[in-house]
A and B are shown apart, each in its own frame.
Chain A
Amino acid sequence: MSQLDLSELQSTEFPVPDELQGNLAITSISKLYNWSRRSSMWPLLFGLACCAIEMIGTAASRFDLSRFGMEVMRGSPRQSDLMIISGTVTKKMVVPIVRLYNQMPEPKYVMAMGACASGGGPFKEGYNVVSGIDKYLPVDVYVPGCPPTPQALLYGLIALQKKIDGQSLANMDDVPWYGVGPAEPTPIPVLGPDIIDPRQMDLIRRQAQMAVQGKQFAVGELPALPEKKAEPKKVEAKATAAPEVAADMDPVKAERMKKREEALARKRAREAAAEKGE
């Protein structure tokens, strides 16, 4: 993290996230924070299909996930940090998956293991198959292969750890969960005549209206998909963290938020000045 002035950090006016109130040595806290996050990543214990067998094989003694602090597979989403989508996601199953995802506490990560979870895999054309979990959830790491061997999976997990290592507490994009206000839960799909993503309701409605007139939107002339905007986790979280969304935020938090903005503005100004000086 950054060149934030230490004295500023110590000042009471600097906005410290709730969770870190009282921990004022933020200087290399990012490092410590990343280290602890990546070394105790507890996966959610659930397997979907064939890839799950390799996932269990990875957890077993020959490859041993516990070398990475990941052996504690938790049965409850509320105790886990990492969701390994290990196999084909079907339309019937994506509903519970999104629900489970919403129940996981931040910080949470999603890994798409295998061709099926990444993009539908060999079963992509099937009528009950979701072609890639990233259509519903933000995915951090994709591990190709059908199935990925245990070593390939470990490589993916290390890639995820690297990703975490590159994050910084100072950057709200990296740690959106310290943003103000509750994070928006991912809307849970509905099983209608086919699976319905609530984020696409508007589009479906318009399509249906067109269908009454015997027309259809062609793929090219799509009205902007609302889900496209919300797809990457970070962008979404940023939106919640932005002050203008938080109109009904409680005053203390709003106050803090304002201060943080000011601090950041000061920092930027200082940086700009420093650059000029050089």
Chain B
Amino acid sequence: MARIIAGVASSHVPAIGAAIDNKQTEEPYWKRVFSGFETSKEWMRQTKPDVCIVVYNDHASAFSVEIVPTFALGCAAEFPPADEGWGPRPVPVVKGHPELASHIAQSVILDEFDITVVNKMTVDHGLTVPMNLLFGSPAAWPCPVIPLAVNVVLYPPPTGHRCFMLGRAIRKAVESYPDDLRVVIFGTGGMSHQISGPRAGLINSKFDKAFLDNLTKDPQKLARIPHLEYMREAGAEGIEMVMWLIMRGALDDKVDEVYRFYTVPASNTAVGHIILENRAKGAKPAGKRKAAPAKLKRAAARAKVERVHS
């Protein structure tokens, strides 16, 4: 059976992509941002997922205002990088996993999530920037990717609760897939930012920190945040953070936070990043494995967190 082993959340600021493409990653401004992902890249090298599901949003690239799907699942064999007006980013074509993707579509629709199936789609910085941050800039992406595009541009986006529940449905779908696949799910976008109107430049680090804390320990609380609160507290475009809740909903209730990074700013935006692992990671499917004493596991998790933070 396939399993979701971990979740990753990361901002997807377009300027980060531009900094990579223009080879500015060593400049002090950008080094501050990229250095926060060194540990994450190492974690990803060790974790070696078989498939990644990347929850992101399109920014008027693949979808305009002609068609606005709330949840669009990419079931194609490949997804070329979108031309966002300056030519496509020089990143590899994203290879899909059509079998698992269509399995997920079939499962979540019967679970009452009426998603849109997309068999032809380009992917913009919303997907490719987090890929760069976690995988670097390889000649080919190391694993297939299933894009899940969420509308967060046209108000209202799906509620945080709906996103969280979709995450649960995705987990159920993955776990009913017959092949042994280790899956990592990404939630992208955020954190606090506003790029439109006279209030542009808004950053709320207190909100962001509380969001990161609760993402680990009390995601149900986050699932109750109304849209108004995201926009008021975290900026009009900060509402993107609902996408992180799809990732979180796909994980266990109790997870280990193995890494976190936060910095302000990247262009107009607060950059937030977190890695959460399901505790069954690397073990045999539940039932066959001997459960480790909970206390021991918690201590191990604490040690791990301290290590990456120091």
Tell me, yes or no, whether A binds B: no
Instruction: Give B contacts to A, CB under 8 Å.
Output: none
Instruction: Give A contacts to B, CB under 8 Å.
Output: none
